[in-house]
Amino acid sequence: MKDFDSWNELKKKIDTRDGVLDNFPKEGEVWMSDVGLNIGYEQNGSEKNFSRPMLIVKKFNNHMFWAIPLSTKQKSFDFYFNYTDPNGQKVSVILAQMKLVSVKRLKRDIYILPNELFVQIKQKLKSFL
């Protein structure tokens, strides 16, 4: 059974964050984010902190952006984009789960995608849309 109560308590704390970061996210960066505990087959955060890496796709302003969750499970579905990250780990961008995200959910930056790889991901996303 999912522990929605724990996520709800953490979500209240996240909402009170001031949303000011030392290093604002840029398109093509991967950040650890408080994704939460979601419904059905939506991608959840992991472990007790409900966090997951997210790729920043499009910045709208200093508060909101589109992001896509990453997974360490690579699959050959059309809506997955598989690659190897700069640390040598195999990951997937789950294109079908792109969402609007508040800067308050961001915890820390992890790495920057090489521009060529980011362009390929955006092309795949556009073809998917």
Residues 54-110: pLDDT tens digits?
Answer: 999 999 988 899 999 999 999 999 999 999 999 999 999 999 999 999 999 898 999
**Stretch among 1-5, 47-51, 61-65 having the lowest mean pLDDT:** 1-5
Asked whether 35 and 69 are in contact (CB, 8 A), the reply is yes
Other beta carbons within 10 Å of 124: 16
What count of Cα atoms within 13 Å lies in the side-chain half-sphere of residue 58? 9
| Residue 36: domain span | 4-128
Domain count, the chain: 1
CATH no. for residue 77? Answer: 2.30.30.110
pLDDT computed for residue 113 by the predictor: 96
The residue type found at 77 is F
